[in-house]
Amino acid sequence: MNKRVSEAGSYLFIIIGALMASFAVAVLLIPNDAIDYGTAGIAIIISKLTGFNLSVCVAVVFAPFLIAGAVMLGKHFGIKAILGSVVYTLGLAIFEEYHVEIDTEHFLAVVFGGAILGAGLSIILKNGGCIDGSEIFANIILKKISDKTGKNFSMTYILVGFNACVYIAVFLLINKNAALMSLLVYVVATSIINRFTDHFEAIKQVTIITKTPDAIVAAIKDELNKTCTMMNSYGAIAGENKTLICYVNYFELPVIKEIIERNKGTFSTVSTIDEILR
């Protein structure tokens, strides 16, 4: 029952976060010559250049990334990503139709818009969802690399490169002021996201202390195609046990948490790793 309530709560928070993000984009950012980043930014550029409805452009641009994410990253993640994206798209349509004029300076509107956008995206990410295709794209690339090489890499460089291309397009196709305002949005929003998700784009180290490691190791191998480092350890009260160390990305964390939940009697921690040296 507690698990069902927690899961229902996560879906509710994803809806709230998506509505916050769509409000920030439609009401604060676009009217003040700024755009969202990632694949949402691509959709906004297309809408501005072609005159097509923004929510339709967002739906079309998001669709292939959502399908790929559901196939590559699992049904559970796919459902949450689709829910967040659908609510975000509907929110854009609603806030565009019933437009609210906020009379304030461009700079303040963009800063507050970026902060609200970052807060909304943080809520979505904290609850296992995602509404931006660039994060799904980066995660799929890293999963492919990890499956082939067994090495773990941060999403940072892929996301920065992806968004750099978006802002160059804004600079060339729209105007330099829009590019600079949009860059400010990115700085503010990602600062908020990193503050509340502990650098979601970084590698996560999961440390698991258990007396029955075999089932956990097998599940991690089957469900994540990853391995663990296993060490002998000793607890002052529990006595002899095993310590498992596994490296995953942010979107794989919910899977490994489910594995840990299924194997009672464990003690686990999650920490952020800036770099792995080999």
d(CA 36, CA 20): 13
Residue type, 79: I
What distances in angstroms separate CA 236 from CA 20, 52, 136, 208, 213, one per listed residue? 48, 66, 43, 17, 19
Per-residue pLDDT for 214 more than 70?
yes
Residue showing tokens 């978006």: 166
Q: pLDDT tens, 96-124?
A: 877 666 656 778 888 898 999 999 999 99
pLDDT band per the 50, 70, 90 thresholds, residue 1: low
Q: What is the H or E stretch that residue 268 is in?
A: strand 267-273
Nearest to 154 by CA among 109, 196, 191, 202: 202
d(CA 50, CA 45): 9
The CATH class of 203-273 is: alpha beta
Domain boundaries, the chain: 2-197, 203-273
Q: What is the H or E stretch that residue 116 is in?
A: helix 106-126
pLDDT of residue 119: 93
For the entire predicted model, the pTM comes to: 0.82
Percentage above 70 pLDDT, the chain: 96
Distance spanning both ends of the chain, measured CA to CA: 44
- Among 19-23, 48-52, 242-246, which is the least confidently predicted range? 48-52
d(CA 199, CA 162): 17
Q: pLDDT tens, 165-205?
A: 988 998 888 888 888 888 888 889 888 988 888 777 788 89
